[in-house]
Amino acid sequence: MSDGNATDLFWDIFFHCTMEMDYKSRRIVIFFLYLLAFLAGLVANCTVVWVNWQRRHSHRPATFCTLNICVSHLMVMTVMPVFLLEVMLDYVWVWGQFLCRFTNFLYEFNYYSTSFFIAYLTVERYVAVTRGPLPRPWGPAEKRRRTLICAGCWIFALVLTPLMVTNVQLVEYHAPGCYLMPEKDYVTWVVVITMTSMIFQFLIPGAIIITCNWLIVKALKESPELQRSIGVSPMMFHIYSAAFVVCWLPYHLVSLLIMVDDLDPLILSCNSTNMLYFSFNVLFSLTHLHYIVNPILYNFLNPGFRRSLFRAVAHYLRKEATAPAEDGVEVERKDKPQNANPRKTSNASTSHSDVDS
């Protein structure tokens, strides 16, 4: 082969794209994924926060963790309409530099914090299972420990967030767009941001989640009595791990390949690079489905949460039903014996209740 033909072949492979992408269909798919994540996520997470806020003084760590997770989700819901409009406008950004960085700040902050809280929740469930039937100690020291861990999760997420946000810029190209665009050492910053994101948002929390869930399943299989008392199938703990991996692994793999292409543009062909960038936005929008998956897996599928939800709804309906009659007279007292003592309900936390939240 002559040098001229070799040069032409090299150019065709690495710098000439022959594959055409359907960007219009992609935009429609992404829009509906965002819309689904926003509407269903808003309803699911508001419900969880409403129910768990009424149980916020519970000794169960699972209640406290899921409350933090859903609060984190709802913070992203506040800027989700902006993402929807951005997709409708074909990624033209019309809200200025401040909102460009602020929306990315909220997303990045909760991008990390959600993974941290899920990992912490999994550790607490593992501790609850390994404790067995023994009651979990509760007091000021335990309450302070739980508060410090949750505060640490929020603070660490806040520390990691500026890495991305400070490098997001409003870029004027054919039209204004909000992009990751470091002013200096573009490739270096892309590598640092990509690896930091992969390590702290996916690898470390994922390793904790998978390991603890595997140990929980192992403990349950070794103790059928414990499994019956908890009332949760061991398969559910594998589903928790699988949901985290399926949601985030494709996104991080594509991010890693894009980073490799930035380091050496000659490794991947033009068509491969084009496919990576085309699929990146789709996979990014798919990750937003965890705003729906997490409330379902960690709350609605738990019998304990469903019982609390039914009680909260019943209490609300009773309150609404008796509201018109409340004119200074207690309508329900007439049928109650005067010497009846109210029954005290126990608020003690056991290892079983920590798992079945």
pLDDT band at 134 (very low <50, low <70, confident <90, very high): low
pLDDT of residue 331: 41
- The answer to whether residues 16 and 270 touch, using CB atoms and an 8 Å cutoff, is yes
CB 71 within 8 A of CB 49: yes
pLDDT in tens, 281-330: 999 999 999 999 999 999 998 888 888 888 888 878 887 777 655 444 44
How far apart, in Å, are the Cα atoms of 347 and each of 55, 124, 141, 299? Answer: 10, 18, 17, 19
| Lowest mean pLDDT, pick from 12-16, 146-150, 188-192, 344-348 | 344-348
Mean pLDDT, rounded, for 145-151: 91
**Looking at residue 6, what is its pLDDT?**
39
**pLDDT at position 198, please?**
97
Please report which confidence band the pLDDT of residue 266 belongs to, taking 50, 70 and 90 as the band edges: confident
Winning range, highest mean pLDDT, from 45-54, 248-257, 340-349: 248-257
* pLDDT averaged over every residue in the chain: 84
CB 69 within 8 A of CB 58: no
Res. 153: pLDDT tops 90: yes
In the chain, what are the domains? 22-321 (1.20.1070.10)
The pLDDT value recorded for residue 173 is 77
**Torsional class of 58: left (φ above 0), alpha (ψ -120 to 50), beta (otherwise):** beta
The answer to whether residue 5 scores a pLDDT higher than 60 is no
φ and ψ at 180, to 5 degrees?
A: -75, 110
Is the pLDDT reported for residue 126 higher than 80?
yes
Most confident option among 13-17, 153-157, 179-183: 153-157
pLDDT band at 342 (very low <50, low <70, confident <90, very high): very low
> What integer pLDDT is reported at residue 31 of this predicted model?
96
Stretch (H or E) spanning 178:
strand 176-180
Q: Look at 315 and 170; give whichever has higher pLDDT.
A: 170
Q: Are strands 168-172 and 176-180 parallel, antiparallel or unpaired?
A: antiparallel
Enumerate residues 6+ apart whose C-beta is below 8 A from 3: none
Q: What is the per-residue burial (b if ≥16 Cβ within 10 Å, else e) of 320-343? A: eeeeeeeeeeeeeeeeeeeeeeee
Highest mean pLDDT (candidates 10-19, 94-103, 336-345): 94-103
Residues 269-284: tens digit of each pLDDT: 888 899 999 999 999 9
Angle, alpha carbons 77-79-83 (nearest 5°): 105
Q: What is the pTM of this model?
A: 0.84
